[in-house]
Amino acid sequence: MTALLPDYRDPALTARFLAAAQALLGPRGLTSDPDLLAPWLTDWRGRYTGRALAMASPASTAEVAALVRLCGEYGVPIVPQGGNSGMAGGATPDTSGEAIILSLRRMSAVRALSAAEGQVVCEAGVVLQTLHDAAEAAGMRFPLTLGGKGSATIGGLIATNAGGTQVLRYGTMRAQVLGLEAVLASGAVFDGLTVLKKDNRGFDLKQLLIGSEGTLGIVTAACLRLLPASTARVTIWAGVPAITAARSLLRHLQARLGDALEGFEVVPAHCLASVLAHQPAARSPLAGAHGWHALIEFMSSRLDPAGLQEAAEAALAEAMEQGLLDDAVIAANDKQADEFWALRDGISAAERARGPAVQHDISVPVEKMPEFILAASAALEAEFAGTRAVAFGHLGDGNVHFHVLAPQGAIPGEWETREGKAISARVHDLVCAWGGSISAEHGIGQMKVDELARLADPVRLQMMRAVKQALDPAGLLNPGKLLKP
Ligand SMILES: Cc1cc2nc3c(=O)[nH]c(=O)nc-3n(C[C@H](O)[C@H](O)[C@H](O)COP(=O)(O)OP(=O)(O)OC[C@H]3O[C@@H](n4cnc5c(N)ncnc54)[C@H](O)[C@@H]3O)c2cc1C
């Protein structure tokens, strides 16, 4: 398709494009009102603010397809957007004002839910919490959750291949997607919603779109797997002597309770102290002081609550005998379990309130993670005087959030601008040296696009660029994200 709009800053052509888009989408489907656009031009963390020609909000897959064709005709770049809760600036347009935001939020229907088949088909704009509620009403559960569940949409979760706190047992978003519908840069609709247990017609094309951050196509709907609701839940807060002991505890619990182990999060003493200072009503679950804490959750749809608790208690007693934990408390009820999770989920906000930090979302092989944390923390603290490194999160997935906290007295904003790039480069170099990934679950977006270009294996980059070129030759889908042109 030849772009009609080689210079779409030409006001007459811009006006023609906007009029055509308005005619296509109707009065609710397009806005250029700065007040309506403003909340969607800055990312969730407030790191990036862009500009946009307009925000389009199509109501159907056919409208998305027609709009994408129109954008292709006029050469207008498209920034797909769901709940705008992403962590890497992927849904924020650049500052040129030349792109449109394509919001999927109006496409929020749960098209079909079958408890018998364990499947739900929902549109891209369905919010994760809404999906949880719909599944629960049918006696089922959707096995992926994360702190942003009130905003994150199914399309965004798929586009970023989000993880969350149940990856240990159920995998990332990729493992939940059974089928996918997407609009390609050409405006063609990829209809891959039908679920086939076996299908060997070559490439599994939906996998290309999962994790592609809006650069290869626009997800309009997905068929996702549902599981029977759990009948038993046991949530434990444990004090552990060292991060290496936490890994041994993880292995021990996996061996004892198999796949009932659903979550295993680590929290260093520093992070717990930050949360307790930030949330005055919060209490430490354990009386004593511990260097590390583990938040452990077992779920079962097979065992009754008493049976699961008994098995968990026996495993904990063995672990204590082996010196893998110092102390532990089992949540007495769901409310207390939720309070334990609130401590974990409150870490990012509490650390932000405590002072400036440079944050990283990294993974290395699970077995290496404790040694990586110790080695990387020592290296960073030695090389950047006065800093402190803290690592917390999904130890069971080999994924932690690795924050380097500013020295006392550092000026917020000024310190990150001066030191941030060098600190992140050092962390990422170490991650690569340990065979890990510079983005475990948040994606690349615009935040890590330079780092991916710097550090990725050239063969990986070459393959990614070839796929991008094949599916989006004009480069109109989310330019500047994930891959540098
Ligand atoms: C409090 C909080 C906690 C979080 N915790 C976790 C966590 O534990 N684990 C984790 O993995 N993530 C976590 N996240 C981030 C989470 O991954 C994102 O919130 C979510 O995946 C993005 O969904 P969204 O609808 O907001 O997408 P957006 O932020 O709008 O977009 C994210 C990316 O996806 C693209 N995109 C959006 N919709 C589509 C679509 N329909 N088709 C194609 N591309 C699209 C965008 O262009 C952008 O590149 C957390 C977020 C918050 C706010």
Instruction: Name the residue among 87, 84, 43 with its Cα closest to residue 441.
Output: 87
**103 Cβ below 6 A of ligand 1:** no
Residue 8 has pLDDT above 80, yes or no: no
pLDDT at 484: 84
**399 Cβ below 6 A of ligand 1:** no
Query: Average model confidence (pLDDT) for the chain?
Result: 95
Residue 4 has pLDDT above 50, yes or no: no
pLDDT at 348: 86
Average pLDDT over residues 249-255: 96
Give the single-character DSSP code of 181.
E
Residue 5 has pLDDT above 60, yes or no: no
Per-residue pLDDT reduced to its tens digit, 412-469: 999 999 999 999 999 999 999 999 999 999 999 999 999 999 999 999 999 999 999 9
Residue 153 has pLDDT above 70, yes or no: yes
Q: Which two tokens stand for residue 435?
A: 């065979």
Left (φ > 0), alpha (ψ -120 to 50) or beta: where does 480 sit?
Answer: left
Per-residue pLDDT reduced to its tens digit, 15-27: 999 999 999 999 9
Residue 3 has pLDDT above 60, yes or no: no
**299-313 CB burial, b ≥16 within 10 A, e <16:** bbeebeeeebbebbe
Sorting pLDDT into bands at 50, 70 and 90, what band is 201? very high
Instruction: Name the residue among 79, 7, 8, 20 with its Cα closest to residue 48.
Output: 79
Which of 41, 45, 85 maximizes ligand 1 atoms within 8 Å of its Cβ, making it the mutation to test the pocket? 85
Rounded Cα–Cα distance for residues 120 and 113 (Å): 4
**91 Cβ below 6 A of ligand 1:** yes
The atom of ligand 1 lying closest to the CA of 481 is: 49
Sorting pLDDT into bands at 50, 70 and 90, what band is 259? confident
Share of the chain above pLDDT 90, in %: 93
Give the single-character DSSP code of 330.
E
Q: What is the DSSP string of 386-422?
A: T-EEEEEB-GGGTEEEEEEEPPTTPPTTHHHHHHHHH
Lowest mean pLDDT among 149-158, 243-252, 297-306: 297-306
pLDDT at 7: 47
**92 Cβ below 6 A of ligand 1:** no
Q: pTM here? A: 0.94
Average pLDDT over residues 297-308: 92
Residue 48 has pLDDT above 60, yes or no: yes
Rounded Cα–Cα distance for residues 81 and 480 (Å): 15
Sorting pLDDT into bands at 50, 70 and 90, what band is 2? very low
Instruction: Name the residue among 164, 349, 168 with its Cα closest to residue 271.
Output: 349
**Distance (Å) from CA 157 to ligand 1 centroid:** 5
**Residue with CA nearest ligand 1 atom 41:** 155
Q: Which two tokens stand for residue 107?
A: 């496409």
**172 Cβ below 6 A of ligand 1:** no
**Distance (Å) from CA 256 to ligand 1 centroid:** 34
CB 84 within 8 Å of CB 159? no
CB 264 within 8 Å of CB 344? no
pLDDT at 379: 98
Q: What is the DSSP string of 130-175?
A: HHHHHHHHTTEE-S---TTTTT-BHHHHHHTT---TTHHHH-SHHH
